[in-house]
Amino acid sequence: MAEDIRFDGRVAVITGAGNGLGRDYALEIARRGGAVLVNDLGGSGAGVGASRNAADAVVDEIRAAGGKAAANHDSVATRAGGEAIVAAAVEAFGKVDIVISNAGFLRNARFEDIDDDKLDALIDVHLKGAFYVAQPAYRIMRRNGYGRFVFTGSASAMFGHAWQANYAAAKGGLMGLSHIVAIEGSAYGITSNLLMPTAQSRLMAEMDDGFMEIPDFARSVQEADYSAVQDRLLPAFNTPLALYLASERCRTTHGIFSANGGRYAQVLIQATQGWISPAGPEAPSVEDVAGHFDRICDATTLHRPMTVYDEFNAVAAAARERDAAAVPAA
C-alpha cells in the first residue's frame, strides 16, 4: 500500500475556502497535518455581499478536529488584498508552501449582453485575484526553495460552454499564468498545475438555461449522460487530485488536469504535424493554405510543445525533413 500523503509542516493558502471545493480542500489538508489559511470573502455565488461566517466556520471545524487553521476575509480582487492574504498566512504560520487558488463566482449571460460589470468582476476575481495572491506567495516560495501552486481552471475555457464568455476568458488566462509560473518556478523547487474540477456547488444556482436557445449546444446538453456520475459530482471527488498536485510527492509541473465524476485525466495542448510551405523567401498564398487545410487539421500525429521554443524546434525539424526530401538521390 502506498505511503500516506501528508502535509505536516506545510502551510497552505486556499482562497474561496468557505464553501464547496475550497472548504473540502482545507478540511483534508488540515486532516493530513497541514496548517491552512482559510480565505473567503463570504459573497454569494454571483459575487455579491460579504460575510465572515463562511471562513470562520471552516476554521472552527478544523480546530475542533485538532487541526491548525486561521481565517482571512480579504478580497483577492486587489493587489493589496492578495498581499494581505499571504501576510496573514505568514503571521499565523510563518511561511507559505502551497497556494490553491479557488475563489470565484459566475455571472452568466449571452456574449453580446456581457457588460463591464459582468466582465470586470470575473476577470478581477478569477484571473487577477489568482495573480495577486500567487505573486507574493511565489516570492516566499522562491526564497525557501519550495512551493506548490494549484490554479483552478474550467472545462468552460478548455472545451467551451455557452453564456460563459466572461468566465471562460478569465479561466483561460489562468492556463497561461500557470504555465509561466511552472517555467519560472522550475529553478526554485516550485511547481504549478491547473485543475479543472467538476462539482455541484452553490455556483450551479447561478446557471441560466437560456443557453438552450443555441441548437447545437442544446443538443450537446441534452445528450449528456449523467446517469453514471450523478452521485460523484461532489467536491470530495475533486479533492484527491487537488491535494496530490499540492503535495510534496507530486513533482509534475506545467500540467492541466481534469477531475470529473471520479475520472482523473491529464488534458493536453498539442499541435498537429501540420503543413510546412515550400522552401524559399516567398510566403504561401491564402489559396495555398486553403488547399492544405485538411493536412493542417490532421490530428494523426501530434506534438506537445512545453515552451514557445519547443514549437520552433518542431517547425525547424519539419523544414529539414522537407529539404532533405527535395534533394535528388545521387
The residues annotated as belonging to the active site are 167
Please list, in sequence order, all residues whose beta carbon lies within 8 angstroms of the beta carbon of residue 2, skipping any fewer than 6 positions away.
Answer: none
Alpha-carbon distances of 250 from 191, 237, 244, rounded to whole Å: 9, 18, 6
Angle at which helices 53-64 and 20-31 cross, to 10°:
20
Amino acid at the residue 173: G
C-beta of residue 270 within 8 angstroms of C-beta of residue 207: no
How far is the C-alpha of 220 from the C-alpha of 244, rounded, in Å? Answer: 32
The DSSP string of 188-254 is: GTEEEEEEE-----GGGGG--GGGGGSHHHHHHHHH---TTTGGG-SGGGTHHHHHHHTSSS----S
C-beta of residue 18 within 8 angstroms of C-beta of residue 54: yes
Please list, in sequence order, all residues whose beta carbon lies within 8 angstroms of the beta carbon of residue 114, skipping any fewer than 6 positions away.
Answer: 165, 166
